[in-house]
């Protein structure tokens, strides 16, 4: 395989990946719809779309709701829920270690001296890291990305395509 073919193959793979990232949501995908006239947001699971509207299933009621394209300002597709255990553990360890070093340096009871600060720092750091990981696991955020090809606002977006036949690649 020549270098030019390799470059074209890689470019087409990247282009297909970018197109797939903006593809229409699949059935069962979690979507968020922002209304044009009101500040309302509907979060549900994509069922179907036709020329006039889009249908979502709301949970836990399993109620199906239809929104006209003219009512929708924009739509977003869920990229998944993220937990914050690792950042929480890091922050907790850092805060706990600083607190432990401060306590160890000032002395507690009969424990004084330079050897107490690292021991207290490590102990408090481990406890803080554990507590931070637990708190970070409880805190969850959902990531959203825009659905670029939704025909919101009363019409389909303008789409331009190009097709090339490169004879030297055959």
Could you say which DSSP state residue 140 is in?
Answer: E
- Name the percent of the chain lying above pLDDT 70: 69
Q: Span 145-156, mean pLDDT?
A: 68
Continuous segment of H or E residues that includes residue 81: strand 72-83
Question: Of 12-16, 25-29, 65-69, 115-119, which one has max mean pLDDT?
Answer: 65-69
Report yes or no: 163 and 12 within 8 Å, Cβ to Cβ. Answer: no
Beta-carbon neighbour count of residue 152 at 10 Å?
Answer: 21
Catalogue all structural domains in the chain, each as residue range(s) with its CATH number: 3-82+142-169 (2.30.30.520), 85-138 (no CATH)
Report yes or no: 124 and 100 within 8 Å, Cβ to Cβ. Answer: yes
Confidence band of 120 (pLDDT split at 50, 70, 90): confident
Max intra-chain CA distance, the chain: 85
The three-point CA angle 156-160-162 to 5° equals 150
* pLDDT for position 10: 61
**C-alpha closest to that of 24 among 149, 161, 159:** 149
Confidence band of 116 (pLDDT split at 50, 70, 90): confident
* pLDDT for position 156: 45
For residue 57, is pLDDT > 60? yes
pLDDT in tens, 10-19: 666 555 544 4
- Range name among 16-25, 57-66, 77-86 with the lowest pLDDT average: 16-25
């Amino acid at each position: 395989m020549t270098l030019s073919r390799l470059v074209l193959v890689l470019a087409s793979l990247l282009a297909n990946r970018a197109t797939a990232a903006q593809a229409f949501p699949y059935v069962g995908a979690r979507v968020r719809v922002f209304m044009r006239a009101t500040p309302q947001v509907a979060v549900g699971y994509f069922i179907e779309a036709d020329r006039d509207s889009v249908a979502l299933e709301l949970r836990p009621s399993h109620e199906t709701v239809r929104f006209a394209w003219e009512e929708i300002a924009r739509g977003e597709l869920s990229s998944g829920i993220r937990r914050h255990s690792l950042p929480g553990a890091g922050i907790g360890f850092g805060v706990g270690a600083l607190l432990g070093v401060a306590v160890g340096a000032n002395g507690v009871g009969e424990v004084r001296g330079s050897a107490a600060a690292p021991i207290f720092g490590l102990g408090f750091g481990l406890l803080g890291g554990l507590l931070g990981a637990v708190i970070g696991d409880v805190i969850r955020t959902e990531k959203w990305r825009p659905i670029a090809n939704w025909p919101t606002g009363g019409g389909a977006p303008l789409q331009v395509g190009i097709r090339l036949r490169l004879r030297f690649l055959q």
